[in-house]
C-alpha cells in the first residue's frame, strides 16, 4: 500500500503544485488504484506518474468545489481511451452525479466501461468487501464535505511451519486446512486444531483522507488511530483568522487533529500558493512542534505504508 500525491495545491494550480488529487496504490492488495479528488489537470499529472488510470477502481470526491472535481470529465473519458474496461465507481456528495451526467451528455462522451455513481447522503459505512471497508463523516467547510477512512481488514496470521515440522507433519494440503482454522486428523490418529498452528492476525492498515475543513471533532473521530492521516493545511498559524473565515485549516489545526486522534503519520496537503520554496518549511515546523511525525506533501511525492507485524 502506497499513497501518491498527484496534486497538493489549494484553490488554483501554481507552477509548483497542481490542485488536489491523491492516489492510493492497492496493486498488491487488490490490483487497483483508488483515487481521491480530481482537480483540473489530474489526468495530466497521472501521465507524469506511475499511476495507471486504466487500473483505477474507485474515485472518492470529498466536496464539489472546482479544485476537487473539475478534472473528472477528462479523467473518465481518457480512461476509455487507455483501455479501461472494468467498472469504475465514483463516490461523492449529492450533486456529483448531475455534474458528471451533464458533462458527459453535453460533450457527447462515450465510456467503454460501466460507470457507477454513489451519492453520499449520510455518514457511516460507505463500502465493504472481504478485504476493505470505507467509512465517511462530515467535515466543517463552506459546502457539504466528507472525509474518508479506509480500513484494511486484518489478515490471518502466518502458519507456524517450524512447529509443524517439529511434530513431523508432512507438507501438503494439510497445511492449507490448518491455516484456514480447520481440524485435521492425521493418518496416525493425531488430531490437530488449526488455531494451534496459526499466529496472531496481522492488523490491517488505516488511512484517513480528509477534504477541506477547519478543525472539527468529526475529523478527529475519523482519524482515530490512523496509520496515515492526510489533512489540509492551507495556511500557517499566523493566518488563522483567514483560514477560519474560509473554513480551512492551518498547519497547527492539522497537527492538533493528528495528535488528538492518535494518528501515526500526518501528511499535510492543499497548500496555499503563498507558500513557495523554503516558506513551506514554516508549515512543517509548526506541525512538528505538536506532532513530530509530520510531513508536507508535494506533487509526485509518495509514502509507503507498511503493515505493523
**Coil, strand or helix: which one is 268?**
strand
8 contacts 269 by C-beta, under 8 angstroms: yes
pLDDT digits (tens, 9 = 90+) for 245-293: 999 999 999 999 999 999 999 999 999 999 988 899 999 999 999 999 9
| DSSP for 143-184, written as a single string | S--EEEEEEEPPBPPPB-HHHHHHTTPPSSHHHHHHHTT-EE
Q: How confident is the model at residue 158 (pLDDT cuts 50, 70, 90)?
A: confident
Residues forming the active site: 67
Return the pLDDT at 29.
Answer: 96
pLDDT digits (tens, 9 = 90+) for 185-230: 988 889 999 888 888 888 999 999 999 999 999 999 999 999 999 9
pLDDT digits (tens, 9 = 90+) for 225-250: 999 999 999 999 999 999 999 999 99
| Alpha-carbon Rg for the chain in angstroms | 22
> In Å, how far are 130, 235, 258 from 13, measured between CA atoms?
38, 16, 27
Show binding-site residues.
63, 65, 67-68, 141, 212, 270
Q: Say which CATH class 2-155+201-304 falls into.
A: alpha beta
Distance of CA 275 to the CA centre of its chain: 25
Q: How far apart are CA 304 and CA 180, in angstroms?
A: 29
Show binding-site residues for Zn(2+).
63, 65, 67-68, 141, 212, 270
Percentage with pLDDT > 90 across the chain: 81
Would the pLDDT of 179 be above 90?
no
Would the pLDDT of 109 be above 80?
yes
Q: Which three cell numbers stand for residue 121?
A: 447522503
Return the pLDDT at 123.
Answer: 96
Question: In whole numbers, what is the pLDDT of the chain averaged over residues?
Answer: 95
Would the pLDDT of 170 be above 90?
no
Query: How far separated are the first and last CA of the chain, in Å rounded?
Result: 14
Amino acid at each position: 500500500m502506497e499513497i501518491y500525491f498527484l496534486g497538493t495545491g489549494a484553490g488554483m494550480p501554481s507552477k509548483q503544485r497542481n490542485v488536489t488529487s491523491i492516489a492510493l496504490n492497492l496493486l498488491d492488495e487488490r490490483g487497483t488504484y483508488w483515487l481521491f479528488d480530481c482537480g483540473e489537470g489530474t489526468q495530466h499529472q497521472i501521465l507524469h506518474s506511475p499511476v495507471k488510470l486504466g487500473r483505477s477502481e474507485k474515485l472518492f470526491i470529498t466536496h464539489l468545489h472546482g479544485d476537487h472535481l473539475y478534472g473528472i470529465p477528462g479523467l473518465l473519458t481518457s480512461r476509455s481511451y487507455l483501455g479501461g474496461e472494468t467498472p469504475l465507481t465514483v463516490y461523492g456528495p449529492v450533486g456529483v452525479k448531475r455534474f458528471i451526467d451533464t458533462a458527459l451528455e453535453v460533450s457527447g462522451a462515450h465510456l467503454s466501461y460501466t460507470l457507477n455513481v454513489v451519492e453520499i447522503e449520510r455518514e457511516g459505512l460507505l463500502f465493504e468487501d472481504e478485504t476493505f471497508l470505507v467509512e465517511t463523516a462530515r467535515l466543517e467547510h463552506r459546502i457539504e464535505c466528507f472525509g474518508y477512512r479506509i480500513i484494511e481488514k486484518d489478515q490471518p496470521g502466518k502458519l507456524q511451519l517450524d512447529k509443524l515440522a517439529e511434530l513431523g507433519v508432512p507438507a501438503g494440503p494439510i497445511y492449507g486446512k490448518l491455516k484456514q482454522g480447520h481440524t485435521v486428523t492425521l493418518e496416525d490418529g493425531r488430531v490437530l486444531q488449526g488455531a494451534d498452528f496459526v499466529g496472531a492476525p496481522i492488523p490491517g492498515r488505516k488511512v484517513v483522507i480528509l477534504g477541506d475543513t477547519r478543525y472539527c471533532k468529526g475529523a478527529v473521530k475519523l482519524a482515530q488511530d490512523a496509520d496515515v492521516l492526510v489533512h489540509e493545511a492551507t495556511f500557517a498559524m499566523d493566518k488563522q483568522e483567514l483560514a477560519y473565515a474560509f473554513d480551512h485549516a492551518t498547519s497547527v489545526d492539522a497537527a492538533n487533529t493528528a495528535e488528538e486522534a492518535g494518528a501515526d503519520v500526518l501528511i499535510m496537503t492543499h497548500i496555499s500558493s503563498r507558500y513557495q520554496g523554503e516558506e513551506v518549511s514554516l508549515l512543517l515546523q509548526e506541525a512538528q512542534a505538536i506532532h513530530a511525525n509530520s510531513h508536507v506533501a508535494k506533487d509526485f511525492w509518495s509514502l509507503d505504508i507498511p503493515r505493523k507485524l
